[in-house]
Structure 1
Amino acid sequence: MTAPPPQLPGFGSALQIRGVVDAVAAQLREAIFAGTLPPGAAVTEALVASEFGIARPSAKAAIEKVTAEGLLQRTANRSARVLTIDTEDVHDIYQARRRLESAALRDLASTLHAPERARIANEHIRALRAEHPSEIIDHDLEFHLAIIDALDSARMSASYRRILSEVRLCMAQVQGRQLLHPDLIGDEHSRILAALQLGDAESACEHLTTHLGRAESLLVESLTHEE
């Protein structure tokens, strides 16, 4: 008879707590993206504990997890609040995106590598209509994340995911307005992939700059109108 594996003290309960924290963090994230928790809304430990029926330490851990992702911000001795993105934030976010993605495109072009995952994400975009902004956003960000993930750098992918959380939040806060049409997004993505397949890094980066620049301008315009 095989002896049971040794048990680490408290290991099972620690995993259970982590599962609760991850689940609550996911719910908070979705509430922020959906606008249920609007920009500037306070997210307190007491509120989260009460809403989800969990202990205060678990609520605190979930809040800290979402704060680390950049969706909540906390100042000294104050409750966490949903991040409010302004036009300066948009410019900074898109500058970071251009630099990271351009570096990725240059590396991929050197091996003529156009990620299949990015191509599939773009096919999903082309199949959508402009009436589905949230789905367009999801597939658009998946396209760009696929470019970064193709580098097989865990740290670069992790850094870029945090930036995309802020991009997703920004788009969610203004998605009531029409941004880029899916056909236009699909065409611009296709040009980037075609340039990668040809090993033309400069063209790929130029198409990326045009694509992100147009999106940045529309986001800034939308935010300006809402101020």
Structure 2
Amino acid sequence: MEETQPADTPSTETASRPLHGDSVHERLREEIRSGALPPGARLTETELAARLAVSRTPVREAIRRLEAEGLVDHQPRLGAVVRSMDYPEIMELYEMRTVLEGTAARLAARAASPMELEELRAINADMAAAGASAALARLNRQFHARLLDAARNRFLVRSMASVEAALLILGPSAMERPDRAAEAVEEHRAVLEAMAARDGAAAEAAMRAHMERAQLTRLRILRQEGGA
């Protein structure tokens, strides 16, 4: 799970490779995540089919799936467009993310195995060593995904999937900002220390603080871009 959106821009090799089936859906999701398809961008079947070197059928199905995930809207005279989120929606999204991530940390403090804790430490160490690289966003998503797995709650996983999809709309990850990345590593350490002590309340509090700082960073980015 990402700090938000989070994002890895598709490589030149991947971007030029012909796609089929589910991979069209994954490509479009990644382009929304990276900002290549920003909020308000039109998704035209013929143009996308030509660019991705596929027929219109998988493109049409991918757009339907994106609509079901809440990433795409159909607007009069425009057709399918990438969804935009207003300020109240962004606040609601982060409020829910804070609740879910905090709950995951509390449950993981009780349920995580020593091996899972060590894996989380290793991922966070990789983040600290990554510097200002494109790997930061991927490692951040990996950290949050592994922590969620360690919580051992399938309903929580399903709820987080909905939040993660909505986060894609916000575009590239705040991890692209070196100052935020360094802060996130320290915030992760605080969560991990509480988890290692099996202190669920402290782990939840540390994760909530982490999410609140992530929210503030995202709002600053959106204001600078004129989006909130």
**Structure 2 equivalent of residue 41 of structure 1:** 41
CA offsets per residue over residues 155-181 of structure 1, 9 Å max, x none? 4324313322333442517777x3743
Q: Structure 2: how far apart are the matches of 1:76 and 1:158?
A: 32
Q: CA–CA distance in 2 between the matches of 1:109 and 1:120?
A: 17
Contact 2:42/2:80 (CA < 8 Å) preserved in 1? yes
Aligned residues: CA RMSD: 2.7
User: In the alignment, is the contact (CA less than 8 A) between 1:105 and 1:196 conserved in 2?
Assistant: yes
Report the alpha carbon displacement of residue 57 of structure 1 after superposing the two structures with TM: 2.6
CA–CA separation in structure 1 for the residues paired with 2:150 and 2:136? 21
Residues 45-69 of structure 1: per-residue CA shift (max 9 Å, x gap):
2222232343333221111223333
**Larger RCO (CA under 8 A, 6+ residues apart):** 2
Q: Could you tell me which residue of structure 2 aligns to residue 4 of structure 1?
A: none
Give yes or no for contact 1:125–1:186 (8 Å, CA) kept in 2: yes
| 1:190 and 2:189 matched | yes
2:130 equivalent in structure 1: 128
Instruction: Give the whole-Å Cα distance in 2 for the aligned partners of 1:72 and 1:80.
Output: 6
Structure 1 unaligned blocks of 5 or more? 1-18
Match of 1:149 in 2: 149
Partner of 1:25: 25
Q: Which residue of 1 aligns with 2:221?
A: 222
Match of 2:79 in 1: 79
- Whichever residue aligns with residue 57 of structure 1, its letter is T
CA 1:212–1:59: 2 relative to 1, 3 Å:
same
Which residue does 2:57 correspond to in 1? Answer: 57
Counterpart amino acid of residue 182 in structure 2: D
Aligned residues: 206
The letter of the residue matching 1:159 is S
Cα pair 1:128 1:182 within 8 Å, conserved? no
Q: 1:209 to 1:174 in 2, by over 3 A?
A: closer
Percent identity of equivalent pairs: 25
TM-score between both structures, scaled by the size of structure 2: 0.77
Aligned to 1:94: 94
Q: Is the 8 A contact 1:191 1:207 kept in 2?
A: yes
